[in-house]
Amino acid sequence: MTDPHKTDLSDEEWRAKLTPEQYHVLRQAGTERAFTGQYDKHYEPGEYRCAGCGAPLFESDAKYNSGCGWPAFTRPSEGDAVEERRDTSYGMIRTEVLCSNCGGHLGHVFPDGPRDQGGLRYCINSASLDFEPGE
């Protein structure tokens, strides 16, 4: 049975809804080039949501400048905002991060984040995000 709270679109519907870059990242597990994403150097208060389905993913207070070329966060939003799974593509072993609502590829999580904040770096593609300004 399909979860009524999860976004489940056909490939054709995803292609119509997303820009070509968003589709490449979210639906094909692509990656934008480093230092090119609109949210890499973005530090306004607010919430980062999935560009595919609008689900809340990360809060601005968890964002930091890691210097990696992609938006970096120390943790996802509360609850089950993201899912993680083992990724062995390109001859590497990494942990992929996906939107738990629509299954869209967001990026990867690495164990080289700030030690005083849990030690994780959620390295996320700007193309997978929308920003909602906050207070």
Instruction: Give pLDDT, residue 127.
Output: 98
Concerning whether 68 is annotated as a catalytic residue, the answer is no
**In the chain, what are the domain boundaries?**
11-133
pTM for this model (two decimals): 0.92
d(CA 75, CA 68): 16
State the pLDDT confidence band at 6, using cuts at 50, 70 and 90.
confident
Q: Is the pLDDT of residue 2 over 90?
A: no
101-130 residue pLDDT tens? 999 999 999 999 999 999 999 999 999 999
Q: State both tokens at 84.
A: 């993680």
The fold for domain 11-133 equals 2.170.150
38-79 residue pLDDT tens? 999 999 999 999 999 999 999 999 999 999 999 999 999 988
On the 0-12 / 13-18 / 19+ scale of CB atoms within 10 A, 94 is middle
